[in-house]
Structure 1
Amino acid sequence: MLNPLQNRITQHQRLTDIRIKLLHLHKLLLDTERSRYEQVRGQVSKGELLQLVIHHDQFAWLHRLSELIVQIDQLIHADEPITSEAIAALIADVQIVR
C-alpha cells in the first residue's frame, strides 16, 4: 500500500502522462486542421493560426481537448492532493472527447 506522499506522486505522474499524450494528440489534430484550412484559404502564420484556433468555427471542435489539458494543468498545480475520483472524472471526459 502506498503512503500519502507516494500516492500523490503516482497520481501526479499519471496526470502528467495523460497530459503529454493529449498535447501530442492536440498538435496532430491542429496540424491536420491547419493543413485543411490552408488548402482552401492559403498559408497562415503562427499568429494567424492562434487567432483561427480561438475564433474560427473550423477549429472550434478542438476547444474541448484544450479545456481538458487546462483541467489537468490545474489539477497538477493544485495545493490539494489529486483524488482518484478527480482522475476518474477526467479520464471519463477524455473518453467522451475521443
Structure 2
Amino acid sequence: MNEQLTALTRGLRDLHKQLINLETQYFGAVGSPLEHLQLITNHPHFAWLQKLSGLMTQIDERLDDKEPVTVEEAKAFRQSLEMLIGPCEEGDQEFRTKYNALLHDGPELVMAHGNVRQLLAKI
C-alpha cells in the first residue's frame, strides 16, 4: 500500500498545484512567492483548499512512519478523498461545489483530476 499511497501523493500534489494556479488567476495579482504562500495559507479565498492540504499532510505523515500502511488505512484515505473529489453524493458539498466549478476552467486540472482518479482506483 505504501507504493500506491506514494504515487497518490505525487498525483495529489499536482492536483493541488493546479487548483492553486486557477484560484490565483481568479484572485488576481499576488506579489512575491512569499506573499503568494501567505495568501494561500491565510486568505479566506483559498481557505477551502486547506481540507485537501490537510489530508495530503496526513497521508505524508503516515508514509513517514516505519510501519507499512495497512489496506484499511489506505482505504480510509481513499474514502476521505472521495468525500472531497469523488462522484459520491455525501461529503463536503462546499468543497465539491468549488472544486467542480474549477474542473470546467482548466485542462491541466482535468488531467490532474483524471490521474488522481486512476490512482484512487488502485487502492
Q: Is the 8 A contact 2:30 2:36 kept in 1?
A: no
After TM superposition, the structure 1 = structure 2 runs for residues 1-98 of structure 1, keeping only pairs within 5 Å, are 11-38=1-28, 42-98=29-85
Offset of residue 12 of structure 1: 1.1
Distance of 1:22 and 1:82 partners within structure 2: 18
Distance of 1:31 and 1:44 partners within structure 2: 14
Distance of 2:20 and 2:75 partners within structure 1: 26
Q: Is the 8 A contact 2:12 2:56 kept in 1?
A: yes
Give structure 2 stretches of 5+ with no counterpart: 86-123
Q: Using the aligned pairs only, state the percent identity.
A: 34
Q: Is the 8 A contact 2:5 2:59 kept in 1?
A: yes
Distance of 1:67 and 1:18 partners within structure 2: 15
- Structure 1 segments, 4+ long, off by >2 Å, are none
Offset of residue 78 of structure 1: 0.5
C-alpha spacing 1:84/1:47, structure 2 compared with 1 (3 Å): same
Report the AA paired with residue 35 of structure 2: E
TM-score (norm 2): 0.66
Give structure 1 stretches of 5+ with no counterpart: 1-10
Larger Rg: 1
Q: CA RMSD in A?
A: 1.0
